[in-house]
Chain A
Amino acid sequence: MSRALMKDGRPRSTFSIVTMSILALLWTIPTIGLLVTSFRTRDDAASSGWWTALFNPFSANWTTSNYSGAWTGADLGSGFINSIVVAIPATVIPIMFAAFAAYAFTFMEFPFKEFFFLLIIAVMVVPIQVAFQPMLNILGPRGLGISGQYIAVWLLHTGFGMPLCIYTLRNYMSTLPRSIVESAKIDGCSHYQTFWRLVVPMSIPAIAAFATLQFLWVWNDLLIAKLFLNSSNTTVIVKLQQLLGTQGQGAELLTAGAFISMIVPMLVFFALQRFMVRGLTSGAVKG
C-alpha cells in the first residue's frame, strides 16, 4: 500500500496519511461533540459528557426536539432571510471595490501609490472593537441616522473586509503576466475593459477564495449585527445568541441552532471550492 503512487507520481507516504488523519480528527472533535450534544436532552447534556452517549448509543435519550425548539423559539426562518440580505451585499460590495483598487495598485501608475497601499494595509492593525464607538456615533441618530438598517451593516463589513481583500487580490494580480495587460493596451482596451474582460476572469480563483472567506465571516458575525441591527431585522447568529437566557437556560437549543445556521455557509463553501483551484492562467504564457 505504501508503495502505491499518487497522481503526481510520488510514492504515497504512510506517515503523512496517519498524521493528516490525526490532525483532521483533532480539528473536528469539537464539532462532533456539538453535533452529538444537539441530539441529546437538556438533562443528559447537563449530567454527562457527550462521548458517553457515543459509547452507549442505545441507553442514551436521543431527541430532535432541540432542532424544532430552536427553529420555532428563535424564529430562525426570518433570521435566515435577514442573514442572507446582510451577507450577500456585504460580500459582493467589498470584493468589487477591492478588485478595482487591486487593479489600480497593480497595473496603474499614480502618485503616492506605495504610500496609499501601505496605509490600507496599516488600517488592518486597528481592531474592529475599537472602531465601534466612533462608528455608532457616525451611523447613529447623531450622525447619518442609518444605524439599525441593513445599509449600516453592509458599510461596516465593506470597510472592515476591504483592506485584506485589496491585499489578497493585489498579490494575486501581480502574479498575472504583465504582458497580457500590455497586449490588451495595444489591442485597444481601456482600463475598464482590461479589468472586466481580462483581469477579472483571470482572477476568479482569488476572488472566489476571498468571497468564501468574507461570506463566512459576515454570516458568522455576531458583534456588528448585534450592535447595528434592530431585533426585528437581525441575523441568525444574533437570534441564536438571544436564545440563551441570563442563567444559561436554552443552552441545549443553541447547539441545534448552530447546526441549522451552518447549512448556508456549507453550501457556499462547497459551491465555490471548485473555483479555488489555481492554474486558470496556465496556457497564457510560453510552454
Chain B
Amino acid sequence: MATVTFDNATRQYPGNPKPSVDKLNIEIADGEFLVLVGPSGCGKSTSLRMLAGLEEVNGGRILIGDRDVTNLSPKDRDVAMVFQNYALYPHMSVADNMGFALKIAGVDKAEIRKRVEEAAKILDLTPYLDRKPKALSGGQRQRVAMGRAIVRSPQVFLMDEPLSNLDAKLRVQTRTQIASLQRRLGVTTVYVTHDQVEAMTMGDRVAVLKDGILQQCDSPRRMYDHPANVFVAGFIGSPAMNLMDVPVTDGGVDLHGHTVPVAREDLTNAGKHVTLGVRPEDLELSSDTSGIPVTVDVVEELGADAYIYGTAEQKLLEATGENAGDVPFIARVDGRRPPEKGEKIYLKPKPGHVHVFNAESGLRIGD
C-alpha cells in the first residue's frame, strides 16, 4: 500500500504540438480511490498508462510511495492493471490467468493456488477456475480481470474503464462491488472513466481533466457543489447544469428582471457580464412572470420527478464557454404536475443555489 504522486508529469507524443498530459499534479493518499474523469481525448487514460509504465513520461516525475518510478519498467512498479477489454489470456484457464503474474515472479505452486482460491472466493469465481475465458459471460470475465489484479496484492490498482463493456444493469451492480471491494482491501486505486456518474459514485476524490490539463480534484460532493470552473460545472452532474450569459446589475446579476443576489466584492473584477450556472434541480416554477421564460419542448417523466427540456429566451452556453446553438434548457419539476408540452413557464433559481463564473476565464466567482 502506498501513496501515488504525479509531480508535473507530462506526456507529449512525438509529432504532436501539444502535450497530451500537461504538468499533471495530483497527490493520492494511501488507500484512496481516485477517479480520473473527462471527455474522450482529455488525457485520463494516458495519465493512467504513465503511472503503469506503459507510456513514457517526458517531463516531471511519478512517485509510488517514496519511490521515484518515472523511469522504471512496468514490472518493477508493483502495480496491477485492469484493462477495458480485460486482456485475459485466452489459452489459459481462469486459475492460470489469475496466477500468471505470481508464476512469472517464481512464487511456489501451493502459494499461488492458495492466493488464487482466496481471490476467487471474494469474487464468486470458485466454480469457474478451470474454465477458459471464452466459456465465461462478460461479467465473469470482468471479475477474472479484477481477480488477476487482486491476487498480486500490489501497491496500486489501476483500472482503465473496466465497466464500459458491461450492460447497463450489470455496470451499476459491479460499480458498487468494485467500490466496496476497494474499501475492504484498502489498496490505493486509480480509476479511469468517461462516465461522470461512475466517477461521482465510486471515488473518494474525483479529478476532472480536459485537454491534458487538470481542472479540479476534489471530493464528489465538493465537485458538485463548488465546481471550480465552467467546464467542471457543465461536465459533472446529469442532466447537465444550465449555463447562461447574464448581465451584472446592482447587488447581483439580472435574470429577466429577477435579480439573483451575488456579493458585490465578488463582482468587482468580473466585467459587465458573467456566466451563471443553475442545476436543473435548483430551479423552481415562478408564480408570476419573473424569471427565465422557457417554452417546453419535451417532458421526460421519471415517476417521482419530471425533467423538462425547453427553449429559453436566454443566451445559453456550452461547458466549453462557447456559444451553444441548440442546447436545451433543463429543469426538474414535480413529477405529479408537470407542465404541458408547448406551455410557456417561468423559472427562477432557488436562493443560494447558483454558480457564478467569470465570463472571460471561466473561473468560479465567490464561494
Any B CB within 8 A of the CB of A180:
yes
Residues in A with CB closer than 8 Å to B185 are: none
Closest chain-A Cβ to B187's Cβ sits at a distance in Å of 15
Do A202 and B83 have beta carbons less than 8 Å apart?
no
- Give which listed residue, A179, A188, A280, A281, contacts B83 with CB less than 8 A: A179
Any B CB within 8 A of the CB of A57:
no
Number of A-B contacts (CB under 8 A): 85
Tally chain B residues at the interface, Cβ within 8 Å: 34
Any B CB within 8 A of the CB of A8:
no
- Give which listed residue, B90, B132, B137, contacts A202 with CB less than 8 A: B90
Do B133 and A189 have beta carbons less than 8 Å apart?
no
Residues in B with CB closer than 8 Å to A281 are: 90
Residues in B with CB closer than 8 Å to A283 are: 88, 90, 132-136, 141
Tally chain A residues at the interface, Cβ within 8 Å: 22
A20 CA / B83 CA spacing, docked (Å): 44
Any B CB within 8 A of the CB of A54:
no
CB closest residue in chain B, given A287: B138
- A186-210 Cβ-contact flags toward B at 8 Å (1 or 0): 1111000100001001100000000
- B128-159 Cβ-contact flags toward A at 8 Å (1 or 0): 00001111111001000000100010000000
Residues of chain B from 301 to 336 with CB closer than 8 A to chain A in the complex: none
Do B87 and A284 have beta carbons less than 8 Å apart?
yes
Do A287 and B165 have beta carbons less than 8 Å apart?
yes
Any A CB within 8 A of the CB of B52:
yes
Residues in B with CB closer than 8 Å to A187 are: 75, 100-101, 104, 148, 152
Do B75 and A188 have beta carbons less than 8 Å apart?
yes
Closest chain-A Cβ to B141's Cβ sits at a distance in Å of 7
Given contacts A185-B54, A187-B104, contact A287 B89 (CB under 8 A): no
- Give which listed residue, B53, B88, B137, contacts A284 with CB less than 8 A: B88
Residues in A with CB closer than 8 Å to B137 are: 287
A198 CA / B90 CA spacing, docked (Å): 9
A283 CA / B165 CA spacing, docked (Å): 13
Do B90 and A280 have beta carbons less than 8 Å apart?
yes
Closest chain-B Cβ to A186's Cβ sits at a distance in Å of 5
Q: Which residues of B line the A interface, CB within 8 A?
A: 52-54, 73-75, 79-81, 83-91, 100-101, 104-105, 132-138, 141, 148, 152, 165-166
28 pairs of residues in contact across A and B, judged by CB atoms under 8 Å: A177-B85, A177-B87, A179-B83, A179-B84, A182-B54, A182-B83, A185-B54, A185-B73, A186-B54, A186-B74, A186-B79, A186-B101, A187-B75, A187-B104, A187-B148, A188-B75, A188-B104, A189-B104, A201-B91, A283-B88, A283-B135, A284-B86, A284-B134, A285-B85, A285-B88, A286-B85, A286-B86, A287-B137
